[in-house]
Amino acid sequence: MDLRTYFSIHWKNKTRFPECTLESFVPKNTNIDKGTVIKKNCFISDEIKSIGKHVYIGDGTKILNCSLIDNYSCISHDVKIGLDNHQLDGLSVNPKLNKMEKSSPIIIGADVLISANVVIMSGLKLGHGCVIGAHSFVNQDIPPYAIFAGTPAKLIRYRFDDDEIQDRLRSKWWLKELEELKMNLKE
């Protein structure tokens, strides 16, 4: 690691985001809310505008084409988010001879769990509370509170019944502070 990157990670990050634990470089235009943890060796492109509160991003994760990671989401290690497709109908698939198809950025809802070694293509929406199993390849939108796994990822089941899902979505609990949520758990 060069001195400039080290300085940015260990001094600028602490100055800009004193309530976070950031062990990787964060682009200047990215807003990060309190309590977020970003582990070592992560790459975060300047496409991302907002990372919510109490988000966890594990070692070696690459976030390429994503505009939002909402509150309380957990991204495990070695995840790749926002990969674009090669154009397949040109002279060659080599990007020097054929341009890559740039898709819209991913939006990751609140309370999303993305397990280790998952690959997620660009242009998708991951609904609030969804779970993606380890080593999955995601090439479609994931509905709220759905559990998807596999290559390609397919619906395994929903975390809750329809009524419970609607209640959770209406409550927007992820907008509350961590302390308030912890107090409600004790009651």
The reported pLDDT for the residue numbered 167 is 97
The reported pLDDT for the residue numbered 43 is 95
Greater confidence, 141 or 186? 141
User: Residue 125's domain is classified under what CATH number?
Assistant: 2.160.10.10
| CB distance 44 to 27 below 8 Å | yes
Domain that holds residue 44: 3-86+94-186
pLDDT 10s digits, 46-57:
999 999 999 999
pTM, 2 dp: 0.91
pLDDT 10s digits, 85-122:
877 787 888 878 877 767 899 999 999 999 999 999 99
When divided into structural domains, the chain yields a total of 1
- Report the alpha-carbon distance of residue 104 to residue 124 in Å, rounded: 8
Flag whether pLDDT at 187 surpasses 60.
no
pLDDT 10s digits, 57-82:
999 999 999 999 999 999 999 999 99
